Amino acid sequence: MKTVLIGVGQAGGKVTTALVEFDREMGFDAIRGSLAVNSAQADLRPLPLDTVLVGQDRVNGHGVGGDNELGAEVMEADAGEVMTALDGRITAEAEAIFVVAGLGGGTGSGGAPVIARELSRVHDVPVYALGILPGSEEGAMYQVNAGRSLKTLAREADAVLLIDNDAWRSSGESMEEGFQSINQAIAQRVGLLMAAGEPVDGVGESVVDTSEIINTLRAGGISSLGYASAQAGDDADANVNVVTSVTRNALLTGASLPDATTAETGLVVLAGRPENISRKGVERARSWVEEETGSMRVRGGDFPLESERIAALVLLGGVERSERVESFMERAREAKQREQREDPAEMFQTDELDDLI
């Protein structure tokens, strides 16, 4: 999938950088352009990307201090400047655009929906959001910001690939170490998904192409991505159980939204050497994901990759009915009550558009 990335806010810029670097190191060439946007000059300065500073007339390059309403306002005012900076980056070869943002901070949660809306207005390709939920240890303001922003982002983007900060963080890590490892995990997992469908060495029996990713995300709303890998055996017949096992682990223990297993659509991608991937195993894995998710629209295929391991990616579309999303919204609601703010969980359940933009 030929993709252009726009990182919004501090987390968005860092994750976009990690994705660009992973794509370059692996030689996938799936990411065809990138840009980082922020209201804080200090957060843009270390990034090895082209950048745009917004809100200079309001916050003088010092950021919005976690105020996502202000983040939306400054992005709205400077959206034209951001779109101008994207001229020439989003070309006819682009098959999708991803707006990348942490949903707890002010610029990311407030500004990402604005950028997604403007991109959808101008471009015909799908505009997706890669949204990162704050961890449970992060403060009430971050929970409330994410709760207030999530519905707006889901409505403005064609789909939101949602990642819970707690999902891919190892136990015993400090907060800073956790953020670094999460960024690397996102880069590996989402980077592999973006690379699926791109020309690679090796010919699989049923290679996943970009249209299958787009069709899986066509359900809209919220999506989840699972990942797991294991050492491959010597031949395909020996790997039937390996393929089914890594698929189960990807969905049940390696998902970006743990416990999000009720879905409208799904895609199972098995990455590894074509001669090591069992077609029987792929079909069993696909059938199992159908049963587990309750969806009859689960696709499956290969991603030829030179590796001693077999990896499974499980992309689920339309997971907003899942317990994980509901529990997060409840957490945001409780944080709101402590902050005495508007109820984000209740807002998410209504048809009214959040007034951030």
pLDDT tens digit sequence for 221-236: 999 999 999 999 888 8
% of residues, the chain, pLDDT over 70:
90
- Between the alpha carbon of residue 256 and those of residues 124, 132, 159, 227, 314, the distances in Å are 28, 9, 15, 8, 10
- Per-residue confidence band for 200, with pLDDT thresholds at 50, 70 and 90: low
- Per-residue confidence band for 343, with pLDDT thresholds at 50, 70 and 90: very low
**How far, in Å, CA of 283 to CA of 230, rounded?**
18
How many CB atoms lie under 10 A from the CB of residue 350? 9
Map out the domains of the chain as residue ranges: 3-195+322-349, 219-317
How many CB atoms lie under 10 A from the CB of residue 351? 6
pLDDT at 138: 82
Q: Residue with structure tokens 């957060």?
A: 43
Euclidean distance between the first and the last CA atom of the chain, given in angstroms as a whole number:
30
Residue type, 106: G
**How far, in Å, CA of 209 to CA of 235, rounded?**
24
Helix axes 175-195, 9-26, angle to 10 degrees: 50
- Per-residue confidence band for 71, with pLDDT thresholds at 50, 70 and 90: very high
- Between the alpha carbon of residue 315 and those of residues 37, 64, 300, the distances in Å are 27, 34, 10
pLDDT tens sequence across 205-258 = 678 889 999 999 998 999 999 999 999 988 888 899 999 999 999 999 999 998
Instruction: Give me 339's structure tokens.
Output: 């902050």
| Over residues 308-337, mean pLDDT | 83
Q: Which helix (H) or strand (E) holds 129?
A: strand 127-133
Residues in the chain: 357
> Residue 289 pLDDT > 90, yes or no?
yes
Instruction: Give me 89's structure tokens.
Output: 């980056």
pLDDT at 341: 46
pLDDT tens sequence across 17-40 = 999 999 999 999 999 999 999 999
Q: Which residues contact 352 (CB under 8 A, 6 or more apart)?
A: none
55 in Cβ contact with 78 (< 8 Å): yes
4-8, 34-38, 261-265, 325-329: range with lowest mean pLDDT: 325-329
pLDDT at 179: 74
**Which CATH architecture group holds 219-317?**
2-Layer Sandwich (3.30)
3-195+322-349: CATH number: 3.40.50.1440
Beta bridge partners of 316: 224, 266
264 in Cβ contact with 320 (< 8 Å): no
Q: Which residues contact 334 (CB under 8 A, 6 or more apart)?
A: 143
Q: Which helix (H) or strand (E) holds 338?
A: helix 323-339
Q: Which of 49, 144, 63, 143 shows the shortest CA–CA distance to 111?
A: 63
